[in-house]
Every structure is written in C-alpha cells, then in structure tokens.
Amino acid sequence: MISLQPAQVSVRRQCQLLGVARSTAYHRPQGESASTLRLLRVLDELYTAHPFFGVEKMTAWLRRDGWCVSPKRVRRLLRQLALHALQPKRRLSRPGAGQRIYPYLLRDLAITRPNQVWCTDITYVRLRDGFAYLVAVMDWHSRRVLAWELSNSLDAVFCVRTLRTALAGHGPPEIFNTDQGCQFTSAAFVGLLQERGIQVSMDGRGRALDNVFIERLWRSVKYEEAYLREYISLVDAHLHLTRYFDFYNHRRPHQGLDYQTPEEVYHPQAAATACAS
C-alpha cells in the first residue's frame, strides 16, 4: 500500500494518511533464527519420544542438555508447533471465541467397520529453514489416511480443504472426531460436517487419549519418514510425504490390524479378491 518509489506524496505523508508508524515502511518480516529453528527441532523430537512431558519437564530436560531456556519460551514454542502433552490438564486445546463444543461420542462405542468414525489432527513437520503444519483425516477402524495436506500457516482453511478432499474421495462417515482446537471448532469446518449429516464428536477436556490413534500415526510419520530426511522446502516435504502415505496405506503391515495394511482393512472385499486371484 505504501510506495517506496519517488512520488508526489512522500513516504512520511503516506504513513500519516494510513495511520502507521514511519519506521514500519521499510520493515521486512524476519523468519525464525537458526538457534530457534534448532530448538524447534529438538522440541519436536523430544515430544515425539516422550509425548507425556509437560512444559516444566521439557524445560528441565533441555536445561540438562545445555539449552538456556525458560518455561515461558518452551510453552510459546510448543503452542507454535501445535503440540500438547498427552496427559490430563485444564486446557487441552482452546476453541475459538463463541464456538460450540460438542460431546465426545466414542466412549464405550464399538468401532467395527470402515467409515463408521473418522478423526483428524495437526502436527509439525520441520523444513531446512523453517517448518510446516501437516493435517490428516484418518479412518479410525482401518487406520487408513484418507486425505492430508501441508500448510505454512496454522489456520482453518487447509483443514477444511483436506476434509473436503476426504469426503469427495470416500463419502461421509457416521461420526467425525476432533480435538477442541479452533481449526476444528470453526464454523466452516463444523458446518461442512453438518451439511453432510455427520455427527460431530470432540475430545473431552483433559482426556489426553481420546484421539490416540492419530497421535500414533504422527509418531510413525516422524520416525519412519520425517526424521530420516531434511526437507528442503514445502514442495520437497510434500513429495516425500506423498510417497510415505502411499507406503503407509498400501504396503506397511500394521500390528494393531493383525499385520494387515490399512488399505486391506478399509477395502476388505478388494483385498479378498486380490488374494483369490
């Protein structure tokens, strides 16, 4: 909006007209420092290895490893990474102001078939010079990843887009479970579920394991793919994660599925036909 090129209206006058400080005219947004990026990577690895660590315990661990950090900084970075400890607490995920919270519908529910329950969550993926956010929609029964997407911002838009992709490719589930984060309590996300007649379920406050299967997915993604590489860019990360999720769905045996693949459990008739042939 402010022209820095020679013009009839000076830069100072433009700033006055726009109501902004003159010093901001030459401001260029700065990315995270190299030391902060290293700390983000360490926090990601520490959380993946010990997801039950809270802020205080993580701070103590980092200090023993030589990091000069305060609980305030660790808490801020964990929020930036959208990570929360898998333990009961007063505030698991904060919904947006005025957004409705739905009850948890999966307690004591026998989940016996594909498309009965889907779930979703967001995690952090590190890049060489920054980081990105990864969201996935997963079928609870088969553990199949139905859709996923990367984004460089933590907003609701890419979550809604991923949900639309999953619905277009696989039809609606009966129940959709999320945490109480603002991305999933937003009117756009919940409205899309309600338009398709899908029951909305949300993790209870302080119920750390209500969405445990997708937490287990993130552990697999990081130890089997993300930590083995250094993604140069968002495009590079997308390329390698595309290959990994294809492997995860179609070729990786899952112990919890009696060593079947998620695809075989999600499409049992196709798997039976393939075995017969």
Write out pLDDT tens, residues 52-111: 788 999 999 999 999 999 999 999 998 888 777 765 544 434 555 556 889 999 988 999
* Three-state DSSP class for residue 202: strand
Give the integer Cα–Cα distance in Å for 270 and 261.
12
> What per-residue confidence (pLDDT) applies to 269?
79
| Block residue for tokens 């039950």 | 52
pLDDT(13) > 90: no
Give the integer Cα–Cα distance in Å for 129 and 141.
37
Percent helix, strand, coil in the chain, to 5, is 45, 15, 40
Q: Which of 79, 82, 69 is nearest to 38 (CA)?
A: 69
Give the integer Cα–Cα distance in Å for 47 and 83.
8
> What single letter denotes the amino acid at residue 74?
V
Average pLDDT over residues 233-248: 96
> What per-residue confidence (pLDDT) applies to 128?
87
Most confident of 52-56, 160-164, 254-258, 265-269: 160-164
pLDDT(6) > 90: no
Q: Which residues, listed in sequence order, are joined to residue 276 by a DSSP beta bridge?
A: none
Most confident of 20-24, 205-209, 248-252: 248-252
152-181 burial, b at 16+ Cβ within 10 Å, e below that, comes to eebebebbbebbeebbeebeebebbbbbbb
Is residue 248 a contact partner of residue 214, using CB atoms and an 8 Å limit? Answer: no
Q: Which residues, listed in sequence order, are joined to residue 117 by a DSSP beta bridge?
A: 175
Most confident of 6-15, 148-157, 206-215, 237-246: 237-246
pLDDT(205) > 80: no
Is residue 102 a contact partner of residue 174, using CB atoms and an 8 Å limit? Answer: no
Total residue length of the chain: 277
Q: Is the dihedral of CA 44, 36, 245, 203 positive or negative?
A: positive
pLDDT confidence band for 129 (50 / 70 / 90): confident
Q: How far is CA 165 from CA 12, 140, 149, 158, 198, in A?
A: 48, 17, 10, 11, 15
Give the integer Cα–Cα distance in Å for 106 and 237.
33
Give the integer Cα–Cα distance in Å for 125 and 148.
13
pLDDT(4) > 60: no
Is residue 168 a contact partner of residue 142, using CB atoms and an 8 Å limit? Answer: no
Q: Is the dihedral of CA 250, 254, 260, 266 positive or negative?
A: negative
| Block residue for tokens 């995860």 | 248
pLDDT(246) > 70: yes
pLDDT(208) > 90: no
What's the pTM? 0.73
Average pLDDT over residues 172-198: 94
Computed over every residue of the chain, the mean pLDDT equals 85
> What per-residue confidence (pLDDT) applies to 33?
82
